[in-house]
Amino acid sequence: MNNLLDRVQSTMLMGAGPSSVAPSTYHAMSQPTLGHMDPYFIRIMDELMAGLRVLFGTENTLTIPLSGTGSLGMEASFVNLVEQGDKVLILQNGVFGVRMVEVATRLGAQVTELAFEWGTPADIEEVEKALRQDSFKIVAVVMAETSTGVLNPVKEIGELLKEDTLYIVDAVTAIGGMPIEADRWGVDVCYAGSQKCLSCPPGASPITFSPRAVEAIKKRKTKVPNWYVDMTLLTEYMSGGKRVYHHTPPINMMYGLYQAVLNILEEGPAKVFERHVKAHKHWVEQLGSLGWTLLVDEPYRLPMLNALVVPEGVDESALRSTLLGERHIEISAGLGALAGKIVRVGLMGYNAKIESVDRVVSAMRQI
Ligand SMILES: Cc1ncc(COP(=O)(O)O)c(C=O)c1O
């Protein structure tokens, strides 16, 4: 084996994730690996879980980082709550809503998919109508749809739900980049990812379960059909007093996540969110001068994920490969139905700043 790692080029990650990692987070990840039952590691995990509660806007005891990527958070949400035949309403306006449908269907749920045009948010009146027509055990939505750059109205949807409906929200792209108020919005399960606005490498999925969701898991008639993310087992390991061995978490990944969360708390979450908005506004201004437009209408645009409509005559694939090959800047292609029609530029975490915007715009202008 030649050592290929000697030649990994540092790339400015300005796509849909992973985002560029903060130097302090790289440093944290290179600290000595401790045993997973080491009291000092347990202390780190306890503090990490407290920090995650702040970013999720929750007081839920069961708030932990799962050892896996954002999709594991999605699996864990559904696999713990869904039993065969349960009615689930999924609001779908992008690739990750489609993935939710796939995950819930595989578990034997009776899924109603309420689809909205990609690039537009879930329509609250349509949601209300669907909720009047049937009653659902679970309603699920992606807060920040990374495939389109749309912000869905999580709070407003929460207000429509009945007491006994469980509410699952995907916050993979939202966490650390915009306020999340899981408790105030009535969210029962919220999951996230490490590699977007937290500016940490991919590999951990923070997740939180409300007391109602924990109760629903306890009341299941059947065992959770997946051992790895069975919350009853993970609770005993991560947040119970007993710390019963379950699996060996990726220790250094958890150091990275710890540092990433600490970075946000030290800067101040409100300031971090404001920095994302400022970078986005600057981006929109600069974009106009390049003659590009955004896919999403202004009130529903995500600051951290900008979907740009590819102008007539521009070869978006050549643009992306020139940016990467010659300028070492990565931006992302469109996914699914939007492939070839949009490119996606992420202003996430460490790179949510004016200098980063200027560097990408200047490279795009020259190319
Ligand atoms: C909104 C959303 N949900 C879920 C996922 C899946 O996360 P991962 O790719 O980390 O498994 C992503 C990844 O981009 C995402 O953007």
Centre of ligand 1 to C-alpha 142, Å, is 10
Centre of ligand 1 to C-alpha 168, Å, is 15
Q: How far apart are CA 54 and CA 64, in angstroms?
A: 12
220 and 347 part of one domain: no
170 and 253 part of one domain: yes
Q: How far apart are CA 202 and CA 218, in angstroms?
A: 31
Query: For atom 2 of ligand 1, which residue has the closest CA?
Result: 172
289 and 162 part of one domain: no
Q: How far apart are CA 245 and CA 136, in angstroms?
A: 35
317 and 237 part of one domain: no
CB 120 within 8 A of CB 97: no
Specify the DSSP class assigned to residue 66. E
**Residue 331: exposure state from Cβ atoms within 10 A (0-12, 13-18, ≥19):** buried
Centre of ligand 1 to C-alpha 212, Å, is 25
Which domain-ending residue is among 225, 249, 265?
265
Give the domain range for residue 160.
23-265
Alpha helices in 268-306 (DSSP H): 269-290
Centre of ligand 1 to C-alpha 147, Å, is 9
357 and 260 part of one domain: no
At 265 the pLDDT is 98
309 and 227 part of one domain: no
| Long-range contact pairs involving 224-227 (C-beta distance under 8 Å, separation at least 24) | 224/79, 224/80, 225/79, 225/107, 226/75, 226/76, 226/79
Which domain-ending residue is among 230, 265, 300?
265
Look at residue 289 and tell me whether its pLDDT is greater than 90.
Answer: no
User: Which residue in 58, 48, 108, 2 sits closest to 251, CA to CA?
Assistant: 48
Query: For atom 7 of ligand 1, which residue has the closest CA?
Result: 70
Centre of ligand 1 to C-alpha 70, Å, is 5
Its pTM stands at 0.98
At 170 the pLDDT is 99
318 and 177 part of one domain: no
- Ligand 1 neighbours, Cβ below 6 Å, are 17, 69-71, 74, 96, 142, 146, 170, 172-173, 193, 202
Which domain-ending residue is among 218, 236, 265?
265
CB 180 within 8 A of CB 171: yes
β-pair partners for 113 = 90
Query: Which of ligand 1's atoms lies nearest the C-alpha of 144?
Result: 1
Query: Which of ligand 1's atoms lies nearest the C-alpha of 195?
Result: 10
Q: Which residue has 């990490």 as its token pair? A: 48
248 and 318 part of one domain: no
Locate 301 and state its tokens.
């645009």
Among 67, 146, 194, the mutation site with the greatest number of ligand 1 atoms within 8 A of its Cβ is 146
Among 173, 196, 200, 332, the mutation site with the greatest number of ligand 1 atoms within 8 A of its Cβ is 173
How many structural domains compose the chain? 2
117 and 175 part of one domain: yes
CATH number for the domain harbouring residue 237: 3.40.640.10
Report the share of the chain in percent with pLDDT over 90: 93
Locate 55 and state its tokens.
């970013």
Query: Which of ligand 1's atoms lies nearest the C-alpha of 147?
Result: 16
Q: How far apart are CA 26 and CA 146, in angstroms?
A: 25
Alpha helices in 134-268 (DSSP H): 154-160, 211-218, 231-234, 251-267
CATH number for the domain harbouring residue 281: 3.90.1150.10
Q: Tell me which amino acid residue 238 is.
A: M
134 and 257 part of one domain: yes
Q: How many CB atoms lie within 10 A of CB 233?
A: 16
**Residue 357: exposure state from Cβ atoms within 10 A (0-12, 13-18, ≥19):** buried
240 and 292 part of one domain: no
199 and 55 part of one domain: yes
User: 344: helix, coil or strand?
Assistant: strand
**pLDDT (tens digit per residue) in 181-214:** 999 999 999 999 999 999 999 999 999 999 999 9
**pLDDT (tens digit per residue) in 235-256:** 988 876 678 899 999 999 999 9
Weakest mean pLDDT among 5-9, 126-130, 238-242, 287-291: 238-242
